[in-house]
Amino acid sequence: MMKKISILHLGGTISSKVDYKTGGVSSKFSEKDMLELYPEIKKIAKISSRLIANMLSEDMNFQHYNLISKEIQKEVKKGTEGIIITHGTDTLHYTSAALSFILEHLPIPVILVGAQRSSDRGSSDAELNLICALNFIAQSNFSGIAVCMHSSTSDDACLILPPTKSRKIHSSRRDAFKAINSKPIARVTKQGNIGFIKKITEKNGNFKLYLFNPDLKIGILKSHPNLSSLEIKNYSKFDGLVIEGTGLGHIAVNKIDSLTNENENVLKELKKLAKKIPIIMTTQCIFGRTNLDVYSSGRKLQEAGILGTQLDMTTETAFIKLAWLLSNHKKEEIPKLINKNYRNEISSRTSLDFLDYVYT
C-alpha cells in the first residue's frame, strides 16, 4: 500500500519559472502546477499538496520557522506518513536546522527539497530531487528532518543530508549541498534504490514543538583584517552574537606594535559585550572545529567570555541554535547548553571519512 505523503510548498527556485519578458526567474508555480509537471510522483505515493508561502528563502525569518513547524504538526495530526517541503536553496540549511531544533521527537520523515535551476528548464534538478525524496520516504523507516539534493552534477542520484550539518557550498552547481563534518544519511536513486551511509539515532519521546521567539536579535560578525571596535559595539542591543573567526576561531585582539592599538579596543568591547549577551565563536573554515586553547588569542577570548571552543558547528547552525536556546532557556544557562548536543549538531570527534562525499 502506498504511503500518504504531503508536499508543503514554500516557493524558491524549485517553484519558479523564467519570466521571458524580464529574463529573470520568479516564484510562479502553484502546488497544482508541480503535480501536473511531475505526474509520475503519483505512482510513488498518495500525494496531497498545498501552499504555505511563495517566497524566496532569503526573505524568511524566525516567524516562518514557527509557521512551518505548526503546519508540519497539523499534517502529523492528520495522519500523513511523510512530508516534503519545497524550499529555496539559499537559506535551506538554516531552515533545516531550525526545524530540527523546534520539532522534538518528530515521528515521521520531513524532507526539505530545493532546486538550483527552475523547474521549467531542461537542466533543472527539481525533478530528481523531488522524486528521490519521495522514494526515500516511501521506502524507508526514517523519521526526522533531512535535506535531499543532487549527489553530483549528473542526474543519477541524490543524497539525504543531515539537517544540522549541511551547507550550500556552491552558488550554482546542482550538487551544491554537502554534509559538513559528517557523512550523508543515505544515497537514493531515481529508481528508488536506497543505500544508507550513516545511521541517525532518534530518541523516543512525545512529539513537541519548542518555537522561536520572533523578537530576538541574533547577529553574525565575520572576522576580517582591520576590524574596528565599533563593529563590536554595533551589537550592544542584540540578544546574542555569533563570531565567525579565522582558523581555529580567532579575532584580532593582540596589540603587537603601534599599528595595532585598535586590537586592544576590540578586546575591551568584546569583554563588555560578553557580560551582556552570549557570544559564540565558529570558524570561517568549511570543515573542522574551533579550538581556543591552542593560541594565546583563543585563551584571551575565553577569558573575555567567548563561548564555543571545541565545537564543529557551522556558523549557520550555531546562529540557529543560539536563537533557539535563547527562545527556550534562560540567558544564564547558555554557556552550559551551547555545548550540549541536541540534534546531532556537534560531532563527538573529528573524522575525515566524510570527505569521500565532498567534491572529488
- The C-alpha cell that represents 187 in the structure block: 544515497
Q: What is the pLDDT of residue 275?
A: 98
13 is catalytic: yes
* Whether 147 and 233 share a structural domain: no
SS3 content of the chain, % helix, strand, coil (to 5): 30, 20, 45
CATH code of residue 72 = 3.40.50.1170
Checking if the pLDDT of 246 tops 70, the result is yes
**Domain enclosing residue 192, as ranges:** 4-209
Kindly state whether residue 265 falls inside one of the protein's structural domains: yes
Q: pLDDT grade, residue 124 (50/70/90)?
A: confident
Active-site residue flag, 314 = no
Mean residue pLDDT across the chain? 91
Q: What's the number of domains the chain is made of?
A: 2
* Same-domain status, 199 and 81: yes
- For residues 252 and 324, state if they share a domain: yes
Average pLDDT over residues 18-47: 68
Is 253 in the same domain as 190? no
pLDDT digits (tens, 9 = 90+) for 248-263: 999 999 999 999 999 9
Give the distance, in angstroms, between the CA of residue 196 and the centroid of all CA atoms in the same chain. Answer: 21
What confidence score (pLDDT) does residue 25 get? 52
Does residue 343 lie in a domain region? no
Is pLDDT above 60 for 199?
A: yes
Query: Does 190 have pLDDT greater than 60?
Result: yes
Query: Which of 80, 86, 165, 168 is the catalytic position?
Result: 168
Which of 80, 89, 164, 282 is catalytic? The answer is 89
**What are the pLDDT digits (tens) for 157-188?**
999 999 999 999 999 898 999 999 999 999 99
Assigned domain for 351 exists:
no
* Mean pLDDT across 341-349: 92
pLDDT at residue 281 tops 80: yes
How many angstroms separate the CA atoms of 113 and 133, rounded?
7
Q: Catalytic residue, from 13, 86, 283, 309: name it.
A: 13
Domain identity same for 138 and 194: yes
Whether residue 227 sits in one domain with residue 175: no
Can 183 be counted among the known catalytic residues? no
CA distances, 348 to each of 25, 262, 290, 304, 339 (Å) = 42, 37, 13, 26, 11
Q: To 10 degrees, the CA torsion angle through 182, 324, 177, 194?
A: 60
- Residue 273's CATH number: 3.40.50.40
59 part of the active site? no
Q: Which of 209, 242, 257 is the last residue of a domain?
A: 209
> pLDDT category, 37, cuts 50, 70, 90?
confident
Q: Which residues are CB-neighbours of 41 under 8 A, at least 6 positions away?
A: 35, 47, 130, 131, 134
pLDDT at 230 over 90: yes
Is the separation of the CB atoms in 177 and 149 below 8 Å?
yes
Residues 33 and 162 in one domain: yes
* Per annotation, catalytic residue among 80, 90, 239, 282: 90
**Helix, strand, or coil here: 7?**
strand
Closest CA to 312 of 286, 337, 294, 335: 286
